[in-house]
A and B are shown apart, each in its own frame.
Chain A
Amino acid sequence: MWKTIIRRVLLMIPQILILSILIFILADFMPGDPFTGLVDPNLDPAQLDAMREAYGLNDPLPVKYVRWMKNALQGDFGRSFNYQQPVTAVIAGRMGNTIRLSLLSIILTYLIGLPLGILAGRYNESILDKTVLVYNFVSFAVPIFVLALLMVWVFGYNLNWFPARGSISVNAVTQWDKWMSQLYHLLLPSITTAILGTTSIIQYLRSEIIDAKVSDYVKTARSKGVPIQKVYTKHIFRNASLPIASGFGFTIVSLFTGSIFIEKIFTYRGMGYLFLQSINTRDYSVIFVLALFYGFLGLIGTLLSDVILMAVDPRIRID
């Protein structure tokens, strides 16, 4: 197993390299640059050009790329034009918020998804199952921004149960108050994310359980005289949870990337919000690092999924 993990990690190096080149090229295609629209219109074009020259924006692409890579290897990912700070510092400032949001979303996703999937699968074709299916169809069909706006409108503005924007209240003074305020701000966006994330978990779990119920090993277990409750816990659920376990890595990734929209709509200042903001302001160095980060996350997610699958399914053992 370690051999496979090491090989996969080694393989990531060229993958990330290729990814970085691709993103670099794509970023270069984007119209405009950080100075477009930001600079005083009365400024002399020649001076503007000199500034571009000074920042190395007029250099050919390969030169820019190699320069960036050299610096990146020394831990310098460039500076944000927007914030006039190192990119790492800008991102680090937002990362905490996004990690908190993602963590809570994951917990809520599984907290809602697992029981619903298990119950729907075990008692399939019952009223409960049909209700869950309706919920599933709706949550599958509704786009993320519609649901998010709906949540903001209903629970944020109309009912006023949750704050509709931001990540922390300015009135929080003590550490405890700050934590509580952060959690309070987190609830609405993470519930929204979770609702959308449960669709595949419920669907997979339900159909896997329905399949497992009529499998031969369940017949064997029942013919041993194992009580039905134990048949479910020891045989059916374990087998049915395999695709969920292996999908864990992907789920994490999709929550991170999904947070781009959620953060925007809830004006929650995390990495996703920063990403969109940076695109709007052509803040290349930030865009580039974030895109690379999301790509890296995707690779890690795939690896994580495979490792989990290797750990839980004895049939998959790659040395």
Chain B
Amino acid sequence: MAVERSLLEVNNLETGFRFGDVYHNAVDDVSLTLENNEILAIVGESGCGKSTLATSIMGLHDPKNTEIKGEVIYKDLNLLDLNEKLYNRIRGNDIGMIFQDPLGSLNPLMTIYNQISESLEYHSDLNEEQRRARVLELLNQVGIPRPEQIMKNYPHELSGGMRQRVVIAIALANKPPVIIADEPTTALDVTIQAQILDLMVDIQDETGSGIILITHDLGVVAETADRVAVMYAGQIVEEAPVEELFANPKHPYTRSLLNSIPHELEDDDDELHVIHGTVPSLQKLPRKGCRFAPRIPWIPEDSHEENPVLHEISPNHKVRCTCWKHFHFEGEDE
């Protein structure tokens, strides 16, 4: 009878921010699943709603100015129905979160030990001594040298890479089955980024947790993700296993994005691909029709669906709208 459910299921999630008396959806009808032992990358440019999606799952929005609809199912519970007290049992215990800026996301006035230990205090019965042992274990796990010393330090005394390791240790403290990482390497140098990504993949291998990795960097996606969802203007426009997405991108937005990555030019007159126009602001976003249509004006209008939905075009590969079938870059033949 029991249906095998995913580790985390997001169903028709809508997150609207209040502008005056009207709510505008920054996340619009997003559905996705996360399995154990999987890295799901959510990739998109600023303003596409990817970070809002993360904070909505965590229930961290200000309820006065936000309206959230839909479901976030975890262990047969819809998290969005939980009151603050019950939600706090989930946060940090079942879902851990890693933020972008490792300096800003640590409290400057608290020692490393206190910041990691705080997470244990609310979710475990460990006594002081056991917490200390666990903090040491965590610092070792995230590859921090001299953990005995470091845990007495304050955040500003560590390098950027070390700080991000501490942030990861905080997220891991209670061995949460789900980890949400919001741009975890964006503020880091490239060599440190590589180390942190390796660390996250290793930890996932060890713990078997499911990771939602939010990023704008397609390189990070290619290096770490198992599955990718591409977001544009609050919606998922394409979803596929990582190899499939890079080898066989379908949605015009995904293809345009991949084409605008800086690379070595073969011909001096070559130029990078530029997407027409700009992302519309939340208030001006058209709520009907293909949201990417204004940015590919050379594609005939009747190529788009009236109400675009995700279509599974091959196993596990989903694309929104039908315009991809008719898409070609401007100036190229169909």
Residue positions of A touching B, CB distance < 8 A: 215-217, 219-228, 234-235, 238-239, 242, 312-315
Contacts and interface: CB of A to CB of B under 8 A. Distances in A.
Interface of chain B, main secondary structure: mixed
Contacts of B96: 223
Contact of B122 (A215, A225, A239, A315): A225
B109 A220 contact: no
A280 B269 CA distance: 84
Interface residues of B, number: 35
Q: Give the interface centre of A225, A238, A239, A312 by most chain B CB atoms within 10 Å.
A: A225
A22 to B, nearest CB: 40
A216 B100 CA distance: 9
Given A217-B106, A217-B108, A225-B123, A315 B156 contact: yes
A216 B88 contact: no
A235 B101 CA distance: 17
Given A223-B58, A314-B109, 12 more contacts: A217-B104, A217-B107, A219-B97, A220-B99, A223-B171, A224-B91, A225-B93, A225-B123, A226-B88, A234-B118, A238-B109, A239-B108
B155 to A, nearest CB: 9
A124 to B, nearest CB: 11
Contact of B154 (A219, A226, A227, A315): A315
A228 B156 contact: no
Considering residues A220, A227, A238, A312, which has the most beta carbons from chain B within 10 angstroms of its beta carbon? A220
Nearest to B103: A216
Interface string B61-97: 0000000000000000000000011001111110111
Contact of B84 (A219, A228, A314): A228
Interface string B2-34: 000000000000000000000000000000000
A316 to B, nearest CB: 10
26 contacts: A216-B100, A216-B101, A217-B104, A217-B108, A221-B107, A222-B60, A223-B58, A223-B91, A225-B88, A225-B90, A225-B93, A225-B123, A226-B88, A226-B92, A227-B84, A227-B85, A227-B88, A228-B84, A234-B118, A235-B110, A238-B107, A239-B109, A313-B109, A314-B156, A315-B108, A315-B156
B214 interface: no
Contacts of A227: 84-85, 88, 122
Closest 5 CB pairs of A and B: A225-B92, A216-B104, A223-B97, A224-B92, A225-B91
A235 B88 CA distance: 16
Contacts of A313: 108-109
A217 B163 CA distance: 12
Contacts of B88: 225-227
Given A314-B154, A315-B154, A220 B122 contact: no
B170 interface: yes
Interface in B26-45: none
B119 interface: yes
A300 B118 CA distance: 38
Contacts of A234: 110, 118
Interface in B191-233: none
Contacts of A219: 55, 60, 97, 99, 105
Contacts, number: 82
A220 B93 contact: no
Contact of A220 (B84, B90, B105, B123): B105
A227 to B, nearest CB: 6
Contacts of A312: 109
B108 A223 contact: no
Nearest to B104: A216
Q: Is the interface of A mostly helix, strand, loop or mixed?
A: helix
Nearest to A220: B105
Interface of B: 55, 58, 60, 84-85, 88-93, 95-97, 99-101, 104-110, 115, 118-119, 122-123, 154, 156, 167, 170-171, 173
A238 B75 CA distance: 36
Contacts of B167: 220
- Which of A221, A226, A235, A242 has the most C-beta atoms of chain B within 10 angstroms of its own C-beta? A221
Given A225-B119, A239-B109, A314-B156, A215 B104 contact: yes
A145 B58 CA distance: 53
B118 to A, nearest CB: 6
Q: Which of B85, B105, B156 has the most CB of A within 10 A?
A: B105
A223 B122 CA distance: 12
A312 B167 CA distance: 23
A216 B109 contact: no
A313 to B, nearest CB: 7
Given A216-B101, A228-B84, A314-B156, A223 B92 contact: yes
A238 B173 CA distance: 24
B97 A220 contact: yes
B122 A224 contact: yes
A261 B10 CA distance: 66
B187 to A, nearest CB: 11
Nearest to B111: A314
